[in-house]
Each structure stands twice: as C-alpha cells, then as structure tokens.
Amino acid sequence: MTFDSQLQRKIMGQFATGVTVITLQDGDDTWGMTANAVTSVSLDPPLVLVCVQRDNQTHPRLKQAGSFAMNILAADQQDLSDRYAYLGPKDCSGLELSRAVTGAPILPGTLGHVDCEVREIFAAGDHDIFLGEIVAGELAEGEPLLYYQGGYRQLAAPAAE
C-alpha cells in the first residue's frame, strides 16, 4: 500500500522544527543548504545527521567535500534560511564567514554550529542520510528560527506564573 505523500507532508508539518543551514567547502567553492531534517544522534561518539534528497544540487557537493558545518539559525535569520532554501547558486559570498576544523564555512550570528566530518552515508528512500562526527562546535545565545505548518514561527513569551 502506498501512503499519500501530500498527506505525509501535512502530517509531518505538524512537527515544529528548528532551522539550520548546512555549509561546506567544495574545492574553491562555498555552498549552503537550508535543512530541518537534522538531528543529534549520539554523544559518544558525538554524531549528528542530515538528510539530503539525492537529486538535490547539494548532494554531490556534500559527498565530495566529506565535511560540513550545521549552523543553527536564530529567529532573526529568516533571510539566511530563504537564501539557501531555493534552487540556484548557494555560495556564501557577501557573508563574514569564519572557519572551524574542517574548513567548512561558519555563518555569522547563529545560535551555534557543529563542524563535522562525514563518517557514513546511508540510503533512505529518495534521500541519503549523511552521518557526521562533530570535531568542533560553538554555542551562542538567542531565540531559534522555527518552522511549522509550512511557515516560519517564533517562540511565544513564557506564561507568567
């Protein structure tokens, strides 16, 4: 029995996620991709994963690069999410980048990042799961950019006690 992919999309849209931009250095080129199909997998060893559609223009670049940074976007960074979400060039030009251990671009103003070396790639339907081992990272403060029901959201202020 085949499950309706549009119903799956609607159901999974009920699951609020954070928004990240996966960045990488592919030869002389920088590249980014907005991703919310990401998760922390293990603390020992420190592992995260990102799911990338096989026909996505980022897929061959990530496979070639062998490393990536997962940049966790802050509430005021919707412009960065949009920049890397749509078809077309995804370079990091015009941004004040830093670099960590792997040389992957680190975006400015994020809530944090992890710098990863690809350890394994697993096939999963029309996507591949890139398992990355964290080799460096940095934490910052702020509110997250969230995605829910096909749109950006922000956290509500905590209720008064």
Q: Which pLDDT belongs to residue 155?
A: 86
pTM metric for this prediction: 0.92
CA dist 144 and 147 (Å) reads: 10
pLDDT averaged per 10 residues, the chain (length 161): 86 89 94 94 96 93 96 96 86 92 96 98 95 97 93 84 73
Q: Which pLDDT belongs to residue 67?
A: 97
Closest CA to 103 of 68, 143, 63: 68
Provide DSSP, 83-150: HHHSSS----TTS--EE-TT--EE-TT-SEEEEEEEEEEEEETTEEEEEEEEEEEEE--SPBPEEETT
- CATH, domain range 19-150: 2.30.110.10
| Domain boundary assignment for the chain | 19-150
Q: Which pLDDT belongs to residue 156?
A: 81
Pair 52, 65: CB distance under 8 Å: no
> Quick one: tokens of 61?
């670049």
